[in-house]
Amino acid sequence: MTISDRDADAPGVARSTRPQRPVAELLADENYREQALRDAVDRLREADADMSASVAFSRIQKVIGFTLLGVIAVLMVFFPVGTCAALVSAATVAYVVTLADRLVIFRRGLVNGAIRVSDEQARSIPDEELPLYTVLVPAYGEPEVVGDLVAAMETIEYPRDKLQVLLLLEEDDEPTIEAARGVEANGLVTVVLTPPAQPRTKPKACNYGVHFATGDIVTIFDAEDKPDPLQLRRAVYVLNNSEDESVVCVQGKLSFHNVRDNMLTEWFTADYGIWFGFLLPGMMVSRAPIPLGGTSNHFKRDVLDRIGAWDPFNVTEDADLGVRIADHGYRTVVLDSITLEEANVDAINWVRQRSRWYKGYMQTWLVHMRHPVKLWHILGPVAFVRFTLLIAGTPVIACVNMVFWLILALWIAGQPLIITELFPGPIYYLALVSMLLGNGAAIYMNLIAIREDDRSELLVSALLIPLYWLMMSVAAIKGMWQILVNPSYWEKTFHGLSTSHQEAASDAPDEQGAGGSGGAVTGGAT
């Protein structure tokens, strides 16, 4: 039974189906808005509580977790060195397996790449045959970027009578609402005010907005995004011409318009280049679940309704939805079409954003592992293991990195004998291989990414990427702590901080080139 089937019998819950009345009329209907809000918050967890991150850990997960911690604590008391050596050995093996799998995925992405749709193919679909399209633009506390929204939407090549743009704002966000009223006056954008309710997250706003969406295809952009003008047409072409009927979602690539602001934005660009340019296409070819990026994902509306849309309690709702698409037997493909965003120029702001991504990845893994046997049968053994290595392994390894770096620093400082006991027998050589070849492979992938993206100016930053890994580790530790104490807290990422907004035209890669967005070998992102 699908989620939508179970929802049908839920009393008082507004189904997120295409509106039967004019949107303006629905926006003025308090009863409809109240039902839509309840649906946005509660639909998924009422239909299938195990698929909601509203509870961070299920009862069985708590039992397993506390049992493991108890066993380790007892062993640490009686066999401290042996227990630490066993943990180091397990972590070392996990490193090597994850690295090998990541290299396989990277190579497949390098060889095959994302799906390319030429300008001619995109424009070959007659306007009258194009489906209705809804663009959701969630924003909160961002009056400084709302003004860019209309300019970006005006560049999109799609019939205006078939394009609906919904700017999703919170009712109590007065500064952004005031800025948006001027935007709404041009007739292209409709402002939808979301009633305040917990959780205050982007996925809740998107769930609410879908109740006013008229499109057969739904996509998301952030207010500061600069999408490829033909991206919507390219997505339609892919969905119309796919030989695989299970393809229901198209993920575009993300890159940045302020690449050269500082070293952090250069690292972030290479990171995104690996993720969207190579790893996601490699996962697409491997038929593994694809954790979606935060924007530029295009969904078939009927399927989005059927699987329950976004989880408002998951702070990386995009990654979760990508896995849930695979859970239901559907597929996501990666489109070679770039949306330009603003890269974080501030280290503290970047850590806030990345820690949320890491926390959300672990939330997603915990949710979908509540029924591991079922997931194994749906995905198959290889994709199941790959799902764990990527979604759970990414934040865990970023945390463990800090431990191994501290061990290395202690060894360099004084070569204490206790450290030699932590790496017994072959584990020492495996750890040595992991350190030398693993770090070398990670730097190599960065170099390949900037070469393929024709960004030779990023060579120095690519060679200094280990400093970026240190920031990743700090963010991961912060995110893993938060999942224990405040799992659904949404740390706001501030935009409009860039000093080089005009760089898009001169510094961006070609629209059909290999740009990217997301996490990388040690980092993962949505």
Which tens digit of pLDDT belongs to each residue from 199-208? Answer: 888 999 999 9
End-to-end Cα, the chain, rounded Å? 29
pLDDT over 60 at 391, yes or no: yes
Work out the pLDDT band at 496, boundaries 50, 70, 90.
Answer: low
Judge whether 162 lies within some domain.
Answer: yes
Q: What is the model's pLDDT at position 490?
A: 78
Q: Tell me how far apart the alpha carbons of residues 209 and 40 are, in angstroms, rounded to a whole number.
A: 9
Judge whether 56 lies within some domain.
Answer: no
Residue-range definition of the domain harbouring residue 257: 16-48+118-273+289-344
User: Does 431 lie in the same domain as 298?
Assistant: no
Neighbours of 191 (CB within 10 A): 18
Q: Is the dihedral of CA 21, 24, 26, 30 positive or negative?
A: negative
Contacts of 199 by beta carbon, 8 Å cutoff, 6+ apart? 41, 312, 313, 488, 490
pLDDT over 60 at 526, yes or no: no
User: Does 410 lie in the same domain as 315?
Assistant: no
Work out the pLDDT band at 7, boundaries 50, 70, 90.
Answer: very low
Q: What is the model's pLDDT at position 184?
A: 74
Tokens 């809000």 correspond to what residue? 37
Judge whether 499 lies within some domain.
Answer: no
Q: Tell me how far apart the alpha carbons of residues 519 and 515 are, in angstroms, rounded to a whole number.
A: 13
User: Does 94 lie in the same domain as 165?
Assistant: no
User: Does 387 lie in the same domain as 316?
Assistant: no
Work out the pLDDT band at 513, boundaries 50, 70, 90.
Answer: very low
pLDDT over 60 at 124, yes or no: yes
Percent of the chain scored above 90 by pLDDT?
59
Judge whether 441 lies within some domain.
Answer: yes
Q: What is the model's pLDDT at position 516?
A: 34
Both structure tokens of 43: 């639909």
Q: What is the CATH number of the domain that holds 209?
A: 3.90.550.10
Both structure tokens of 307: 């699987």
pLDDT over 50 at 502, yes or no: no
Taking only the tens place, the pLDDT of each residue in 339-349 is 999 888 999 99
Q: Tell me how far apart the alpha carbons of residues 252 and 275 are, in angstroms, rounded to a whole number.
A: 12
Q: Tell me how far apart the alpha carbons of residues 27 and 190 are, in angstroms, rounded to a whole number.
A: 10
Q: What is the model's pLDDT at position 488?
A: 78
User: Does 444 lie in the same domain as 332?
Assistant: no
| Residue where a domain stops, chosen among 344, 362, 384 | 344
Residue 523 or 148, more confident: 148
Residue 24 or 234, more confident: 234
pLDDT over 90 at 9, yes or no: no
Q: What is the model's pLDDT at position 103?
A: 93
Q: Tell me how far apart the alpha carbons of residues 463 and 511 are, in angstroms, rounded to a whole number.
A: 26
Judge whether 8 lies within some domain.
Answer: no
Q: Tell me how far apart the alpha carbons of residues 237 and 124 are, in angstroms, rounded to a whole number.
A: 9
Total domains in the fold of the chain: 2
Quick check: 59 and 66 in contact, CB under 8 A?
no
